[in-house]
Amino acid sequence: MAPAPQLPTPSEVTITGNIYIRVRLATKSDLSHIYQLFYQIHVYHNYTHLYKATQSSLEGLLFKENPLPLFYGPSVLLLEVSPTTFNEPKRRVQACSYNI
């Protein structure tokens, strides 16, 4: 297995062109990033001795089989930043006309 590519640190990144951003609801595939983010928050505040979460406990909390509506329970939104456009599926918009 090839090693993961080394990502530049924020001080090494220079933005010279357009950037694209989007905010989206987290999915199960984001779970490892969410876990690492929560852990790093505890490291920053010197609370690692209080950190009891596991990836499976976060999965059970965030991605229940019958989830509550958005924001009625725990929700995670992610901000993604990219130098290229995001490949999003085209949404079909049906034209509507109304007579007033």
Residue 89 pLDDT class (50, 70, 90 cuts): low
pLDDT at res. 46:
95
Say if CB 4 and CB 58 are below 8 A apart. no
The residues, ordered by sequence, that sit 6+ positions from 55 with a Cβ below 8 Å of its Cβ are 31, 32, 35
Q: Is a pLDDT exceeding 90 seen at residue 90?
A: no
pLDDT at res. 12:
74
3-state SS, residue 28: helix
40-62 pLDDT, tens per residue? 999 999 999 999 999 999 999 99
Strands (E), 1-100: 20-25, 77-82
For 1-100, where are the alpha helices, taking DSSP H only?
A: 31-44, 55-62
pLDDT at res. 92:
59
pLDDT at res. 96:
54
The answer to pTM > 0.85 is no
pLDDT at res. 88:
73
**Domain range annotation of the chain:** 17-82
